[in-house]
Amino acid sequence: MREIHVVLSDKKSRNQRLFETIERMVKLAALVAVPVAVSCIGNSYNRSVKEAELTHSYIESCITVLLSENSTKEELEWALDLLNTELPIGNQITEDSIEKIVEQKTNGNRKPEPTSTGEGN
């Protein structure tokens, strides 16, 4: 009977060691990159939410100014200009319309002066 001896080698080929090293480096990079990416995305989302809240509060202020009976010409122009910047392109208020609104609103705040028609004299 013949005996066969098998010698198992513990030595890994150079390619296997290189592959394992690269695999470890990729895993380490993923451990660092994932939290950084999540943080960046979360920061971007929070910034967008805050900007939307700020825009909403400005628009509320504009509406308050436009509805107020005591708004000055400058306040009305500010409110209309700000609304114009927030409206989608193509829906902006024209300069002529802004002037008309401001004129009507500021003249509307004054009491009409009595006019005589000449009748009954």
Q: Report CA torsion sign: 15, 17, 20, 26.
A: negative
Q: How many CB atoms lie within 10 A of CB 73?
A: 12
* Phi, psi angles (nearest 5°) of residue 117: -95, -5
With a cut of 70, list the residues of the chain below it in pLDDT.
1, 5-11, 89-90, 108-121
- pLDDT one-digit tens code per residue, 31-53: 999 999 999 999 999 999 999 99
For the chain, the residue count is: 121
pTM of the model: 0.54
The CA-atom distances, in angstroms, between 72 and each of 12, 26, 44, 58, 112 are 84, 64, 38, 17, 18
Q: What is the model's pLDDT at position 80?
A: 85
